[in-house]
Amino acid sequence: MSKRAIALLLATVTAVAGTSQQAIGQTAGGASSPKKPAEYTEFPVNPNFKPIDPAIVASNPAAAAADSKRTKARNAAYNNARKVMARQIPADDAGKLLLDEWYKKYYLPSFTLPENRGKLPEMRHALLSKDFRTARSPEAVAYLRTQVLNYMKGYAQNAGKYNFHPAVRYNAMLVIGSLNQVEHGARYPDDSRAFVPDPLPAALDLLIAEFKSPTQIDAVLVAALVGIDRHVKLDLARPPERRIPGPKKKVIVDAMVALLNSPPPTGRTASGHAWMQRRAIDILAAQGMVGVYAQADAALETIVADKDAPISLRCTASEALARWAPTSKEKIDASAVSRNLGLIAVKACTDELDRIAALLKQEEVMEQLRELIKKPNPVATGQFGTSAAGGNRYGSGENMYGSDDSGDDEETEMDSQYGANMYGGGREMYGGGGLPGAEGAVATDPRIDWSRRRLKYQLTCVKHGLDGMAIAGKASQHEKVVSQVATAVDLALDLTDPPEEKPNLEGLTESIQKGLRGLAFLVPKAADPLTELPESPIDDLAPTPEAASPAEPAAAVIDPADPPAAEGDALQDLSAGEE
């Protein structure tokens, strides 16, 4: 969660987690039914390598000596394994025993230990980046990759008697999605160099199977989506003869479309479901399905038109429309889609204005509180009486905070306690009515930056979607409407900064409102929140009916497994058979 997202998401899914005893090796089978959260499976590791609890080591000299001995043994085993991977030791039977000593007897089973749950991302990174991607022995890499795939498959599927912690299962699926058949910079059998990683095809099969499993937990589904996304994007760098085969692409496409068309299942939050749907849109766009596959187009149209859908999801759908295939024969009501894209821009602007209004209200309340703090203590003035001893009931002195100098300037006293304002310096919450420095200085209020960046991102997504509709509606009756909406969105995007003479929240509000006026023609009069604003600065924009529903799909729905030859490369690729 980034690109991001990808950070927030990882924090969310790993929070649902716990631990997990003996090697899975060839464990197979489908995902098991949810199990009681009583105890999680833990695999035993080589006791000569396992660290001793630091608390025990700190208080027990004998334990400290034993731990030091285990550390040396652990380091020796790892160094031997690294030498095999680096081709310093042959990857023959003896070399494979050295790999097993480290990976099968210690490192891979240690994913299940409770004390390692918080270290799983680091362990995953070390395995993939330090061990695999620096290796020089193809034989050792192939052997280790098989072992890793078997272990991680078992962890993710949670089959039979096992009950691995969700964090173990999540990280295992992330490992699977990151496995490569050729690492970045390594060489193919024909001695050509891989300039990007070449993902492992067997891993994609497992990612698809687990994503489609009806009993798999959400944490693993999320990790599978991340892996599928990686595979389809890196697939673009492969030569045509080695790309994902058509039938497998169709399975992925249909699974993503089904996710877009489904409501959140029981137990999944709306925000989590929206995140997964956004990744599904990314996958469809990366596979070239926008403007090519009718079901994908219909799903995107529905999301763009859905005023109740999260704006983050609608923005992702908007951005995907920018990939509309120029050679597309698909029919789409570009005018209706463009108006709905414009309404996303309206919502983005109004939402941001609401946020800014709330911030200004909060600032007003804080200023009132600040003024209240400056007033003398009612007890000290006798308004509510005095203590039995005749003094201030909070201690000596004449005010609430203990000062006995009634001649002190109250404002100066408050400033000394709170730094002149709650955030330090200046007479206002974020530095006074004007910013110091030369005319036109850049605003320093972080709230302005947050608002600007969020709104610029959302309007840019809309702009990209309109670029796609310009392609879809080129030389048709839709061209004028698409152009009108695009002009209004461009204006709103240009007005996402406060004016130099008023670089504060009030100035940003005025700028956004100006941009919003240019979009007012999209809002039906009965529901127009801008009726009291001046006329639109955009000329010749005809009134538009209410937000249009997505266009009905064409009567002849193209099956991506059997498209007509004239439909373009993406559909032809979907129909290609297994090599």
Tell me the per-residue pLDDT of 326-351, one tens digit each, with 9 for 90 and over: 888 888 999 999 999 999 999 999 99
- The pLDDT of 460-479, averaged and rounded, is 95
Q: What is the pLDDT of residue 239?
A: 85
pLDDT band at 357 (very low <50, low <70, confident <90, very high): very high
The yes-or-no verdict on residue 524 having pLDDT over 70 is: yes
The yes-or-no verdict on residue 434 having pLDDT over 70 is: no
- CA distances, 225 to each of 206, 312, 407 (Å): 12, 18, 68
- The pLDDT of 206-213, averaged and rounded, is 97
Please give the DSSP secondary-structure letter assigned to residue 396. S
Q: What is the pLDDT of residue 292?
A: 93
- The pLDDT of 215-220, averaged and rounded, is 96
Higher pLDDT, 226 or 371: 226
- Are 172 and 155 contacting, i.e. CB atoms less than 8 angstroms apart? yes
Tokens 């089959």 — which residue? 159
Q: What is the pLDDT of residue 523?
A: 87
- CA distances, 91 to each of 73, 128, 418 (Å): 21, 19, 68
CA gap 133, 127 in Å, rounded: 9
CA gap 550, 24 in Å, rounded: 49
pLDDT band at 475 (very low <50, low <70, confident <90, very high): confident
Q: What is the pLDDT of residue 92?
A: 96
The yes-or-no verdict on residue 242 having pLDDT over 80 is: yes
The yes-or-no verdict on residue 532 having pLDDT over 50 is: no
Tokens 């429309």 — which residue? 321
- The pLDDT of 518-530, averaged and rounded, is 72
Q: What is the pLDDT of residue 190?
A: 72
pLDDT band at 381 (very low <50, low <70, confident <90, very high): low
Q: What is the pLDDT of residue 241?
A: 86
The yes-or-no verdict on residue 83 having pLDDT over 80 is: yes
Which tokens is 190 given? 């024909």
Tens-place pLDDT, residues 156-174? 998 888 999 999 999 999 9
Q: What is the pLDDT of residue 38?
A: 54
- Tell me how far apart the 2 most distant CA atoms of the chain are, in Å: 98
The yes-or-no verdict on residue 297 having pLDDT over 60 is: yes
Per-position b or e across 201-240, b if 16+ CB within 10 A of its CB: eebbebbbbbbebeebbbbbbbbbbbbbbbbbbebeeeee
pTM (predicted TM-score) = 0.74
- CA distances, 445 to each of 146, 154, 212, 290, 437 (Å): 53, 51, 47, 40, 14
Q: What is the pLDDT of residue 87?
A: 95
Q: What is the pLDDT of residue 341?
A: 97
The yes-or-no verdict on residue 403 having pLDDT over 90 is: no
- Are 276 and 220 contacting, i.e. CB atoms less than 8 angstroms apart? no
The yes-or-no verdict on residue 209 having pLDDT over 90 is: yes
CA gap 269, 273 in Å, rounded: 6
Residue type, 465: G
Closest to 420 (Cα-Cα) out of 467, 380, 373 = 373
The yes-or-no verdict on residue 207 having pLDDT over 80 is: yes
Higher pLDDT, 437 or 482: 482
The yes-or-no verdict on residue 440 having pLDDT over 50 is: no
Q: What is the pLDDT of residue 525?
A: 65
Which tokens is 177 given? 């999605």
| SS3 label, residue 36 | coil
Share of the chain above pLDDT 70, in %: 72
From first CA to last CA, the distance across the chain in angstroms is 36
pLDDT band at 398 (very low <50, low <70, confident <90, very high): very low
CA gap 271, 372 in Å, rounded: 40
- The pLDDT of 230-257, averaged and rounded, is 94
Q: What is the pLDDT of residue 246?
A: 93
- Are 306 and 317 contacting, i.e. CB atoms less than 8 angstroms apart? no
Q: What is the pLDDT of residue 379?
A: 58
Q: What is the pLDDT of residue 380?
A: 54
- Name which of 42-51, 252-261, 262-271, 560-569 the model is least confident about: 560-569
Tokens 């892996």 — which residue? 227
- The pLDDT of 32-61, averaged and rounded, is 83
Residue 167: CB atoms within 10 A of its CB come to: 24
- Name which of 37-51, 373-387, 510-524, 545-559 the model is least confident about: 545-559
Q: What is the pLDDT of residue 501?
A: 93
- Are 153 and 169 contacting, i.e. CB atoms less than 8 angstroms apart? no
Which tokens is 396 given? 């000596």
The yes-or-no verdict on residue 200 having pLDDT over 90 is: yes
**CA dihedral angle for residue 152, residue 158, residue 164, residue 169, rounded to 10 degrees:** 50
Handedness of CA 553, 557, 560, 565 (dihedral sign): negative
